[in-house]
Amino acid sequence: MSFRFLWLFPQKTFTGRQDIYMKTKNNPWLDIQIEDYEKHMAAPSVIQLQMLDTIFEEVLDKSSPASVCVLGCTAGNGFQHLINRNLKRVVGIDINQIYLAECRAWFIEDVPNLELICADLNEFDLNEDVFDLIHAALIFEYVEVGPVLAKIHKWLKPGGILSVVLQVPSELSSPVSETNCVPLQRLSSLMHLIKPADFKDIASENGLMELGSKEIELKKGKSFYAGIYEQLQNN
Residue 7 in this model has a pLDDT that exceeds 60? no
pLDDT (tens digit per residue) in 161-208: 999 999 998 666 655 555 555 455 566 667 789 999 999 999 999 999
Cα gap 166→6, rounded to integer Å: 32
Q: Does domain 19-231 have CATH number 3.40.50.150?
A: yes
pLDDT (tens digit per residue) in 89-148: 999 999 999 999 999 999 999 998 899 999 999 999 988 889 999 999 999 998 999 999
Give residue 27's pLDDT band: very low, low, confident or very high (50, 70, 90).
Answer: confident
Per-domain residue ranges of the chain? 19-231
User: Which one-letter DSSP state was computed for residue 231?
Assistant: E
Give residue 1's pLDDT band: very low, low, confident or very high (50, 70, 90).
Answer: very low
The vertex-187 CA angle with 181 and 188, nearest 5°, equals 105
Give residue 15's pLDDT band: very low, low, confident or very high (50, 70, 90).
Answer: very low
Q: Is 172 helix (H, G, I), strand (E, B) or coil?
A: coil
Q: Is 150 helix (H, G, I), strand (E, B) or coil?
A: helix
